[in-house]
Amino acid sequence: MSSTLALIFIGVAVLFILGIKFLSSPKTARYGNLLAAAGMVVAFFATIPLMQLHEWNLNCTLMAVGIVIGLVIGAIGAYSVKMTAMPQMVAAFNGLGGGSAALVASLEFLRRSHSLEGVTVSAAVPMLFATLIGSLSFSGSIIAFLKLEGKFERPHTFPGQNFLNGLVLLVILGLCGYLISGQTNSTAFIVMFALALLFGIAMVMPIGGADMPVVISLLNSFTGLAVAGDGFVINNLSMIVAGTLVGSSGTLLTLLMCKAMNRPVTNVLFGAFGSGGGSQAAAGGIAGTVKPIQADEAALLLAYAQRVVIVPGYGMAVAQAQHQVRELSDELGKRGVEVQFAIHPVAGRMPGHMNVLLAEANVPYDQLQEMEAINPSMDRVDVCLVIGANDVVNPAAREEKSSPIYGMPIIEADHAKTVIVMKRSMAKGFAGIENHLFYKDNTRMLFGDAKASLNALVAAVKAN
């Protein structure tokens, strides 16, 4: 690499670092994203001389066609996806990146193992690392994507699962060791690749849909590390820097998310949330009855309240009801009701999922309150309207030691004078456990699709 190119790649690294930096502050976030994209453009053009092409050949055509196809797929995906399906989209793009990283490493391995110089240990380690982590991220992301799309979102578990997964991992590592020791056996390599794909599936299958944000964040950092590994393999500093930045910031983000749920990351990955269920037999011990309410009556409660707190959850996202929520909040605001939104850090399928949706519906920033900020004043709230949120308002997290979500910080909806829970049915949340809130004396259940119920509420509030 010439020193001019090296200098350009330093500039690229700076653009990425500043990009991520700006992305972590609300005021500069969009600018940060553009900065990182600019870095990518520079890196792209700086890579062209590295390919040492002397004439336009078949590979060049394939490259151009491939880039255009990817651009079209990416653009269609990015602009057609509904805001509610954003988490799936990130999972899908991440999976593609992981797959690409695995393929790049594999190609290099297969090419060098057939060449005269062979594969040195210092080259084999990052190659195998990138293949393993990249393919795992690819298949894991596909499963995460499908789970978020509503396919087999329940945890899938069977006895001895962790043991079997461990065994597969051991075989993978064994094969890696064998390949590193100088054996250039293509079959062993392909078996390793296949097992890594399998391991990605096996790793994500037992995890419930509610934990997918954590999984996607983890797989995102995995892909970053795989890309860094590829950077070592093909000696590209900008890939090393970019991949490593994503890997380490992604790891920290994953830990922050787990912290918000008050669960160690090992519990998320190997806990198989709410599957064994031995301790949950206590469901019969819930006191109280479910008290349904009609929209008219609920509207009266809201219209004559002084302070209303809305707790949105995944149900709002599924029903695409964010605009109706804003309408209701505006209507109540006109009547002088103080309306706030309480956002649980892991409400929805991704941290910030609710913020994105409410922002789309033009809910003002200052109406959004984080969980810690709103909890101390929940007992001065007249009506707490829970829209499609479940586990994040379940008092079992506070009261019942045997509950799988015990210790998770929740929005203390039950402290409000009246709680109205909008829900399609009595189905359980993603944690698969009963919600004690639904049985409390001050809770009323408003059954039905969130959008339809909200429309009825808005109409009834207007009529009052």
Partner 1 sequence: MSVEILVLFVFVLSIFVGFEEISKVPSMLHTPLMSGTNAIHGIILLGGMLVLAAADTPLARTLGFIAVVFGSANVFGGFMVTDRMLQMFKKKKK
Near partner 1 in 184-243, by CB under 8 A: 216-217, 220, 223-224, 226-228, 230-232, 234-243
- Within 319-348, the residues that bind partner 1 by CB under 8 A are 343, 345
What stretches of 382-434 adopt beta strand conformation (E)? 383-387, 418-423
CB of 231 to partner 1, least distance (A): 8
Point out which residues pair with 340 in neighbouring strands. 309
Cα angle vertex 315, ends 156, 201, to 5°? Answer: 25
Count of residues near partner 1 by CB under 8 A = 115
> Is 170 or 256 the residue whose CB approaches partner 1 more closely?
256
Query: How far apart are alpha carbons 436 and 440 in whole angstroms?
Result: 7
Joined tokens for residue 257: 């998310």
Q: Pick from 3, 55, 58, 181: which binds partner 1 (CB under 8 A)?
A: 58
The yes or no reply on residue 51 touching partner 1 (CB under 8 A) is yes
SS3 (DSSP) at 423: strand
Our answer to whether residue 391 is catalytic in this structure is yes
Tally Cβ neighbours within 10 Å of residue 87.
22
Site string for partner 1, 271-310 (x = CB under 8 A): ----------------------------------------
Q: How far is the CB of 390 from partner 1 (least distance, A)?
A: 19
Closest CA to 310 of 299, 297, 326: 326
Q: Encoding tokens for residue 225?
A: 């590390």
The torsion of the CA quartet 252, 258, 262, 266, rounded to 10 degrees, works out to -100
Q: Which of 391, 414, 441, 449 is catalytic?
A: 391
Q: Which of residues 120-179 bind partner 1 (CB under 8 A)?
A: 122
Contact with partner 1 (CB under 8 A): which of 5, 8, 42, 83? 83
- Give phi and psi for 131, each to the nearest 5: -65, -50
If one asks whether residue 99 binds partner 1 (CB under 8 A), the answer comes out as yes
442 contacts partner 1 (rule: CB under 8 A): no
For partner 1, give the closer residue by CB, 319 or 368: 368
Q: Is 50 in the site for partner 1 (CB under 8 A)?
A: yes
Three-state DSSP at 97 gives: helix
Q: Does 89 bind partner 1 (CB under 8 A)?
A: yes
User: CB-wise, 360 or 449, nearer to partner 1?
Assistant: 360
**What whole-number distance in Å separates Cα of residue 308 and Cα of residue 315?**
19
What part of residues 360-389 is at the interface with partner 1 (CB under 8 A)?
A: 360, 362-365, 368, 370
Give residues with Cβ within 8 angstroms of 348, minimum separation 6: 87, 312, 313, 314, 317, 354, 357
Residue 84 binds partner 1, judged by CB under 8 A: no
Active site residues: 391
